[in-house]
Amino acid sequence: MKGDIGVIGLAVMGQNLILNMNDHGYKVVAHNRTAEKVDEFLQGPAKGTNIVGAYSLQELVDKLESPRKIMLMVRAGDVVDSFIDKLVPLLDKGDIIIDGGNTNFPDTNRRVAALKEKGIHFIGSGVSGGEEGARFGPSIMPGGSPEAWPFVKPIFQAISAKTENNEPCCDWVGNDGAGHFVKMVHNGIEYGDMQLITEAYQFMKDGLGMTHNEMQSVFIEWNKTELNSYLVEITSDILGYKDTDGEPLVEKILDTAGQKGTGKWTGINALDMGIPLTLITESVFARCLSSLKDQRVEAEELFGKKESIVEGDKQVWIEALRQALLASKIISYAQGFMLMREASNENGWDLNYGNVALMWRGGCIIRSAFLSNIRDAYDIDPELSFLGSDSYFKGILENSMSAWRKVAAKSMEVGIPMPSMTSALTFLDGYTTARLPANLLQAQRDYFGAHTYERVDKPKGEFFHTNWTGKGGDVSSTTYNS
């Protein structure tokens, strides 16, 4: 009997996905560039299963049933191209290559188009959930050649996480790089969620002077509210974790955040498309700022250490902080969905936002109860332009507003940096202001560069120039928007 699917790349994610597929009754052919890795896997975790090995790409191809489905679980970038180049001459028309790495979506756009010319189908799929997700049910976000989906669907939906109603956290996202795009936004949102949690932690630790056990209890309680999520849950575990000397391990960890680039891509993409994705972008910058450790240490000496004491009823502040976190999280998701909407329109992907929320409901790093409410919002209005306008989310934003403002103002007053929570509030203030001061900005542009402006008392699209100084002349520059 030939194999149902081949997987290339036997690092932890690849191995765990294979074992997961095997658990669901699929015969998997496993390959790795170094043959010893194949042997180690077959004699180790894969022992006693139906998994078979392949020591060359030709052997892998020969052992698969048609149309062949070959999933790459290798490092994103050139390695993917190099495997594609080697595989293509061995494949038949109609065969399917799947890239399950964290690939930047323009690469997937390019690969789908290039392989289409050769008659090979290509799927670029986001896979989220880390090692455990891969082993027992990840969130899977596939996009690319739609013709390939019916062949891959049963396997992917079988191995994916399921919601509380047993719906698979995996569905077809859209053409081209849509799957990898949605995974990129997932990761951007992951950056935002993590940053918001760290801001709440710093407020509690430095502002309210709370112990780690106290903070752990707060996160345990928060996890029973609308904030119920994987990231809140692991935060409570982390805060309670003691090093061998009995002290909280978290305080011994160097405060410089790493990043592999997906958050940065999300921010760059938002700038490219003109979407005000402020919270996620602030989260990326917060990681960048954290990495300037030596400079920060010097600057603290230079400017003096801040006394960030927050006075008042601790319990009242904790509840205010919870509301500020929840409201900011709504803004973060609202901005992320705005970005997806713009990309969908621009690329003709026809994204189904309710389905995206469903795919993120389980298995992935940002899984949370909250995503069910997002799905409901898009069920009610599939074209919702701002998540915060949905009645459920609008209600939370309105109810949290006063607490959110208090936390933001206090953080500024005592000098606790909370870039994401404060920028989220500023975004909402801007988004809900019918008249912003951009009229003055337009006047400035016209003053120094004759860039022209539109008038509130004339139809849109009619451009005016004023000779502000009487010296500049009446010639205007060409009008275009980037």
Give me the active site residues, please: 183, 190
Binding residue for ligand 6PG, selected from 94, 130, 240, 472, defined by CB under 6 A: 130
For ligand 6PG, the closer CB: 262 or 281:
262
Report the alpha-carbon distance of residue 420 to residue 433 in Å, rounded. Answer: 20
Cβ atoms 24, 88 nearer than 8 A: no
281 lines the binding site for ligand 6PG (CB under 6 A)? no
Binding residue for ligand 6PG, selected from 198, 262, 411, 420, defined by CB under 6 A: 262
For ligand 6PG, the closer CB: 30 or 364:
364
Q: What is the DSSP letter of 365?
A: T
Helix (H) or strand (E) holding 244: none
For ligand 6PG, the closer CB: 13 or 51:
13
Q: Which of residues 90-119 bind ligand 6PG (CB under 6 A)?
A: 102
For ligand 6PG, the closer CB: 218 or 359:
359
196 lines the binding site for ligand 6PG (CB under 6 A)? no
Report the alpha-carbon distance of residue 229 to residue 134 in Å, rounded. Answer: 18
Q: How far is the CB of 246 from ligand 6PG (least distance, A)?
A: 29
Q: Cα-flanking dihedrals φ and ψ of residue 314, to 5°? A: -60, -45
308 lines the binding site for ligand 6PG (CB under 6 A)? no
Q: How far is the CB of 131 from ligand 6PG (least distance, A)?
A: 9
For ligand 6PG, the closer CB: 87 or 185:
185
Q: How far is the CB of 261 from ligand 6PG (least distance, A)?
A: 6
Residue type at 375?
Answer: R
80 lines the binding site for ligand 6PG (CB under 6 A)? no
Q: How far is the CB of 380 from ligand 6PG (least distance, A)?
A: 28
Q: How far is the CB of 259 from ligand 6PG (least distance, A)?
A: 4
Centre a 10 Å sphere on the Cβ of residue 206 and count the other Cβ atoms it contains: 17
Q: How far is the CB of 22 from ligand 6PG (least distance, A)?
A: 21
Give the residue from 447, 481, 434 showing the smallest Cα distance to 464: 447
CA-based diameter of the chain, in Å?
Answer: 87
SS3 368: strand
Q: What single string gives the DSSP state of each residue in 307-334?
A: -----S-HHHHHHHHHHHHHHHHHHHHH
Cβ atoms 132, 293 nearer than 8 A: no
**Long-range contact pairs involving 313-321 (C-beta distance under 8 Å, separation at least 24):** 314/208, 314/210, 317/203, 317/207, 317/208, 317/407, 318/204, 318/208, 318/218, 319/403, 320/403, 320/404, 320/406, 320/407, 321/200, 321/203, 321/204, 321/403, 321/407
Binding residue for ligand 6PG, selected from 364, 408, 416, 418, defined by CB under 6 A: 364
Binding residue for ligand 6PG, selected from 20, 22, 32, 187, defined by CB under 6 A: 187
Q: Cα-flanking dihedrals φ and ψ of residue 439, to 5°? A: -60, -40
Q: Which of residues 229-258 bind ligand 6PG (CB under 6 A)?
A: 258
14 lines the binding site for ligand 6PG (CB under 6 A)? no
Q: How far is the CB of 267 from ligand 6PG (least distance, A)?
A: 12
Binding residue for ligand 6PG, selected from 167, 190, 193, 446, defined by CB under 6 A: 190
Report the alpha-carbon distance of residue 253 to residue 268 in Å, rounded. Answer: 29
Residue range at the interface with ligand 6PG (CB under 6 A); choices 128-136, 311-319, 403-411, 439-447: 128-136
Binding residue for ligand 6PG, selected from 64, 74, 324, 365, defined by CB under 6 A: 365
Q: What is the DSSP letter of 348?
A: T
167 lines the binding site for ligand 6PG (CB under 6 A)? no
- Residues touching ligand 6PG, count (CB under 6 A): 13
For ligand 6PG, the closer CB: 3 or 192:
192
129 lines the binding site for ligand 6PG (CB under 6 A)? yes
* Cα 193 off chain centre by: 9
Q: How far is the CB of 190 from ligand 6PG (least distance, A)?
A: 5
Q: 65-97: b or e for each residue (b if 16 or more CB lie within 10 Å)?
A: eebbbbbbbbebeeebeebbeebeeebeeebbb
Q: Which residues contact ligand 6PG by CB under 6 A?
A: 102, 128-130, 187, 190, 258-260, 262-263, 364-365
